[in-house]
Structures are given as structure tokens and as C-alpha cells.
Structure 1
Amino acid sequence: MSPERRALRQTLEALAFEGILHPAPGGWSVGALRVRVPWRRQPGGRVRLLADPQDARGRPLTLPALGRGLAQAGHDPATLLRAMRRSAHFLRAAGPLRADRLRLTGPALEAALIEGHPYHPGFKARIGFTDADNAAYGPEAAASFAPLWLQLDPALIRRAGSDVAAGLAAPGAIPVHPWQWARLCDDPVIAGWRTAGRLRLLEGGPLMRATASLRTLAPVAGGDHLKLSLGVGVTSSVRDLVPWSVPVAPAISGWLAAVVASDPALAGLKAFLQKPESWDSQRGLL
């Protein structure tokens, strides 16, 4: 299936599930558009197309036609269509699936997971990334790069928990994604802090590669993953790190650990999690 066909089919499935498309004989309707396609509903309620969609005349449905139908129904389709086109573009750039990927592990497997989200219309949109950004920082290219590290006046930041820089950079340093820094460094506030000596850009740090989550980086030499704030749009949200979200991850991790520990059927998973050398932890950055 071509990336464009996948983007269109996946979008129709999502729009039908969300009730934006209305049931019609042989398919759905939205605005003046009639979509003809066989489909089935999965046990969880999700819609799955069984063939490529057509319009009322039996012609292959196109993105512009879908956009016109959505606009006629009172929706603004611009963002959706952009996400669909960009997803198809980046999926095509990722190339074909590797035949041996079921035998891969670690970073090699992360680079081989090119499909993106199985449900969301913008499954690989990465709004904010150019082709060059995607080649430099996307997981599919498996390119190595070093996050930047900032030394800040302690009065400018609030800390809790362990030092995110431990073993990676100078004590107390704060990591930032190179893509993010390129967009922050000329900000008047940041520039003022640098001029006043309240913010310094440090040298060094281990090389890392992006994981499938894009903003989480894995050291090439192994070790803790680093989760960074990244102002890129992925599946309907910009991947920044807002204050309320930071303590959620350890709380969920603690709950899951308790569930695993309490269930004898998960003994194998418990043993796996108790071996630090068998998995990488993540460090969140506010």
C-alpha cells in the first residue's frame, strides 16, 4: 500500500470512528461527499476499511475531495490534510520495511520501526521538522548526535529528584535537543541570560540516537534514555514537557511495578525488570 493510500484510509477510519463521517448506503458521507467502501467494526469499536475508498461515481477518493467534504460540513480541514501529506511524505522517505527486523533489538529495531501510529491520521506528521531535520534527528535514519547541555543560574530553575546530568554532563546541567536550541538561542530572554552570564552552553556529552518516540534519546554506548522537550507536533500534540506531566511517569511506573510484583503470572517480566543491564531507564527533563 502506498503511503498516500495508507494516510487516506487511516484518516477515514478515524473520522468514521469519531463520528465526523455519517453512515450512508455503502459507506459514509460528509458535506456533499459520498464515500463508498466496504468496512467492518472491530471489537473495540474501531473502524477498519476492507478496500480503497471511492467517491459516488466509483472513482478513487482523493485528499482534496475529502477536504472539500469536510469544509462543506463546517470543519477546517487544513491542519488534517497537512498532517496526512507530511505523514505520507516522511513514510515514503523512510523506505521499505527491513526483511530482518524481527531479529533486531535495541537501537537497530527502533530505526526499523518506520510505520508510525496505527490509528492517528497524522501518524508521522512531525509538524516543525523539515526533511533535513528528519534526516538528522528522526529515528529511521539512525543518525547519532549529541544533545546540548546548559549550565544555568540556580535561581532560574526549580529541581526535584535526582540529577538528570549524572554521568552524562557537568553536575546540574540541563539537556536540550539541538533542534530546540536552534529555535531558542535567539530568544530575547535566553540571549539576555547568556549576556549576563546566567546561562552557559557546555561542551561535550555522549552521542545519542532518537528512539521511536522522537524526543527520547538513547545513548549510542548504552545506558539511560534521555527524554527531552521537543516543540514538534506528533499525533495532535506538541511534545513539550509541561510541569504537571513530569511526575506522572514515575507514578505510573511505580503502579505498574506493584502490579507486576503482585501477579505470579508475570514472574518472568518481574525478573526481567530487576536486571538493570537488560533494559534502559528514562530520565525526564522539565
Structure 2
Amino acid sequence: MTGPQPSQQPGPSHTPQPPGPPGAPSEQPPPSGPSDEILRSTVRLARLAFSAAAASVFLRDEDRGLLVFEASSGVGEDHLVGSAIPEGHGIAGWVAGTGETMIVRGVTEDDRFDREFALSTGLVPDVVMAVPMEHAGEVIGVLEVLDPKTDGIGDLDAMDLLAELAHQSTAALVLILERRRAEAESAALAAPAPAGPASSDPVARLRAVLAAATGPRAATARTLVETLADLLEQQQHVDHEQHVDHEQHVDHEQHVDHGQHLDHEQRDGR
């Protein structure tokens, strides 16, 4: 993680247009567990520590290209969890993409600020502070605080404190990711195999594997599987052409043999 950025950055505001209607959830919140409670405690602590209006943890969903509200405290906490914003948009998206901490003041002055979305959450902030949540060298989430009070400690110390909170709770986010990947894999294994000839079709089998792909390498797996599928389809076409050529060659040879046999019979008749 690089050093904090205490001044306004050129990235978008923290309130991008979501993939559906403003504030609409992307999915139902999953069942709670100990890891979820740790994240809820983290956002409550972050909000209270900075006397902020709200705090949230975003989970990075690379498969769908989204940042999902995983936990929230303060304004909007009753409906934000489970909703999502497009990855790469807003302050949270900028932090997720760069791995840098940042604080933006006067965010409502930014032309990229989406006031309609902010109003749908119940809060139009003036200050946004956000830090990445990293694991094994990759950003897997973002901890964001809206309208924090940093007058007593200063922006740099405030971001250091928020970064420490994010570091301490990243393990919980990792456990949530692993749990969901395991659930997705179990669901894929439990799914019935395709019936009939399609189950032996190599292209269909590759596409089935692609459908079950999860995790940060899913995009790479998708490209690889699609390439293999294209190669197999091309090979099937080549095999078919070779088969047709072989049949035509056999027919030609048979015709030639038949003609030679007739010539031989005619010579014998003379």
C-alpha cells in the first residue's frame, strides 16, 4: 500500500450510479457468521472513532466487476448491505484500483459526484476517507468513512488509524470470501450433469467448467476455456472436412476400379 493522499484526487466521487436503480440491492445479504460480526464491529468502531456520519466495508467482487456493501454503520445501514456499485467508480473504486488511501474534502463540488445516488442512500457527504483492505498483495475490499471529524488528530494520523482498522479486519473479509467460494464450488458439484450426448461433448464440458469458475482468476479461466472451445470447434470442422475428402477419394477409387474391371472384361470378350 502506498502512502496516504490527504488532498482531493482526480478520481470519481464516492457515489457512482449503481448497476440498477439507485440504491437497489444486487443480491440478498448472505447469512451472518462470526466474520460478518467482525466487519460490523469494524464499521461501528470506525464511525465512532471519527464521530462520522457513516462507515462501510466494500467487498471486491471481481467476477461481476462490483464493489458490494458488506457491512455498514450509521446513515443507510438498514438498506445498504448487499447493494453494490460498479468496480472502478467512485472513491471506493479508485482506492480498490490503486491500493492507495485517500481523503477528499468538498466532494459535492466535484462534477463527477452523483447527488441522486447519494440522496438515495440518505446521506450527501462533504468529506470521504477510504483505505484499501489487502491480502496476499491484492486489494479485496475497501473501508470507507463519510464525514469523519479529523480536526483533533489531522488527516494523516486519521488515515493511519483507519488503515490499521482495515488491516485488523481484513482476515474476516478473507474468511467471508473463502466461505462463499466454497459454497459456490459445492453448489457446482451438486448440480446435475447434463444428460444425453451433450455430456460427452468436449466443448459443452469446457463451458460447464467455465460456468463454475469463481475467484479472482475467473476472468483468466474464462479466456482460456473460450480459446480451447474455439480450437476444439475448429478441429471438429477440420475432422469433418477430412472425412468428407476421404469418402470422396474412396468413391473415386471405387469408380476407377470398376471402370478398369469393365475394360478387362471387354478385352476378354474379344
TM-score normalised according to structure 2 size: 0.24
| Greater RCO structure (CA 8 Å; 6+ sep) | 2
Point out the structure with the larger helix share: 2
TM-score normalised according to structure 1 size: 0.23
